[in-house]
Amino acid sequence: MDKSIEEIWDNGFQNNKYSIPPVIVDLYHKKSILTVDKLKSTSKKDNWSIIPIAIITLIFFIIKSKLILGIYIAALMLSMFFLNRKQLAFLETINTSESCFDYLKKLQKWIKNNVKFYTRLLGIGLPLFTYVGCCIFILESNQYEYILESYSFKKLLTISISILASFSIIGIVSYRVSNYLIYGRLIKKIDEMIDELDFLKK
C-alpha cells in the first residue's frame, strides 16, 4: 500500500528516494502566486502614487513663485515613475506555470538587485539632484550675490560637501525604511517559502 502523506512528511524528506508530495507542491504554488500578485499590486500602487505627489508639488511651488524649481522637482519625480515602471516590467515576465521554487528564486534575486540599484541611485543621485535644486532655489530667490559676498569659496565648498553627504544618508535611510514598511512582509514571505522549499528538496 502506498505510504500516506503523513508518513512521507515524517520520514520521506529524510530519505532521498522521496520527493515533495504533490499536495505540498500545490500548496506552495498557490501561496507563491498569491504573494507574487500582491507584490505586483503593491508595486504598481506605490509607483502610481508618485504622479499625484508630483502634481501637488508643482502646484505648491507655482503658488510660492518658484516655477522653475517646481518644474525641476516634478520632472525628477516623473523620471522616477518611468524608471520604476521599467524596473517593474520584470514582474510581468514571471511564469507561474513553471516550478514555484525556480520563479521565486528569480524573484528573490531581482528584489536583491533592485535594492542595490536604488540604494546606489539614492545614495549618489539624490544628493546631486538635490544640490542642483538648492542652486535653483537660490537663483530664484535672488540670493546668489548675497551668498557669494557672505561666504568664502572654502566655506561654500565645505557646506556643499556637507549637504551632499547629508542627503546621501537621508536618501539611503529613507529608501530602506520605506522599502521595509511597504514590501517587508512580502519579501519575508518570499524568503521563507524559498527556505522551506529548499529544505524540503533536500
Domain boundaries, the chain: 27-201
How many Cα atoms within 13 Å fall on the side-chain side of residue 194? 15
42 vs 185: CA distance, rounded Å: 12
What angle in degrees, to the nearest 10, is found between the helix axes of 67-88 and 126-140?
Answer: 160
> How much is the pLDDT for 11?
47
User: For the segment 11-65, what is each residue's pLDDT rounded down to a tens digit?
Assistant: 444 444 445 667 777 788 888 889 989 999 999 999 999 999 999 999 999 998 8
pTM: 0.79
Residue 94 and residue 190 in contact, taking contact as beta carbons nearer than 8 Å: no
User: Position 191: which residue type?
Assistant: D
Checking phi first, is residue 15 left (phi over 0); if not, alpha (psi -120 to 50) or beta? beta
User: For the segment 72-119, what is each residue's pLDDT rounded down to a tens digit?
Assistant: 999 999 999 999 999 999 988 888 777 888 889 999 999 999 999 999
- 39, with CB counted inside 10 A (0-12, 13-18, 19+), is buried
122 vs 169: CA distance, rounded Å: 9
Write out the three cell numbers for 27. Answer: 500548496
Give the mean pLDDT of 173-189.
93
Residue 94 and residue 130 in contact, taking contact as beta carbons nearer than 8 Å: no
pLDDT value at 189 more than 70: yes
